[in-house]
Structure 1
């Protein structure tokens, strides 16, 4: 890509981002393909106020919203204390996220990275998401190397470990414990330039922390991500379709409610929460397209509306 073209395409993408016509994630994806630039070149146009508003607009997650406001107030007061020559304590931000799939843990972690970067807590604010396979090696010494590599990638941002309890599930010959020890060392070595978030199911995370008492004390912030209520999931569905310039008919909302309730009765823990809703909406949009294509004639209203028949029983 020639320099002039690259600059023009970047400006167009960033202008669309600024006007709210494209999400930050979509902008990152487009720029990665068309004209790679650094993560912060995208995020610098989002103010702290805008990021907090984005968090406030998220459905549910009241504990997370309260936490961010507490941290913001703490930072401001610490700045004032420093100006007055008083002791200003650093903030330890390592966290435990507990909840079922689809309750917003990864989404919140990604947004917190950007918020903390704007607050000056983190240098970059990016999120590195890993699981057991990214940390545990196959031979002696290999695990420490893999952990150090992931920590290095995460410096200035957040290292997010999903299903973290799996690190303690192996037997005596398993290297999971070595990974935990290496992570603890990294937390100490880079405590002012790294936030570690361990995430997973509530029950499994509780057992994991009990099995390693020294670990729990290193994570002062514990956040529970409860399952969404049915009305919250419908609001999430409405938010998803609105962003894509669609709308749900009354019959579509009724069908969604029925399917979500059915799924929760069948399998509560793995019901998917917001993830289930996203999948249902994406399938419905595809089915709406097929339905309209078959008619051969449709209005603007038809293009906008997702009907009950677009949400099939077999989708869950």
Structure 2
């Protein structure tokens, strides 16, 4: 788990030493078991006062800064205020503004060459969540890689290309900062063709065609996989079903266990794996058991069809004193 390091800065003015934790992560964001398996590291400095925030900094393995900002909580991470991400070449990748871990206000995104790519504005709404793939925002500015404006003042035509060998092109008209009219998504040359209609940012309908000949018509936007009764009920279920392993109790083992798993197209759960390390193997076994009994979930939906998805969640074991 977390390795605690006490940083005593004797060369500065006398201050109370801050505790730090250094954690290593893989490219997909899961915790790495060792430094050699890591893509980047995260350094967390504890608040100096009760009213201060945690300082979070991420570094590429060559020591270059990957991201920095503040957090009000670590379990789970809840960011507050601006968080800046950087490309490996040192240029800004994005400047995001959080309010209790929810994007709020102006968000700026940049190309790897340093040119401004896009400016989005997220309204203040407690009903919106970062876990929803279709969360509403306004597109204020959009430029191509040379810095030439394609959308200004919330009006214009959006066209974005992502991916390597298999490219995804997402394009359509924007009016008053919102998708309005027919948008087209193409994946690869002939793999997927999607046409979706929006009215003032609201999804109306969509049609998709896949390389195998399958076609879908749908009237609901994409969604992430989720427990049928919601996240709150899911964790209540875990709390009630959790049985603390006797061997872990005897050996005074406790802590957080991260488990990854797949949600299949039919909602069943499979491929349970430990992410990172755990205080004791018995805690891993129990964490997998309690997660598995929550099956089935609502599967993720993309372009009108169910798709498999991967999740990672923490299960916390705390001994009574």
TM-score normalised per structure 1:
0.31
Per chain length, whose mean CA-contact separation is higher, i.e. which structure has more relative contact order (CA < 8 Å, sep 6+)? 1
TM-score, length-normalised on structure 2? 0.31
Give the structure with the higher percent strand: 2
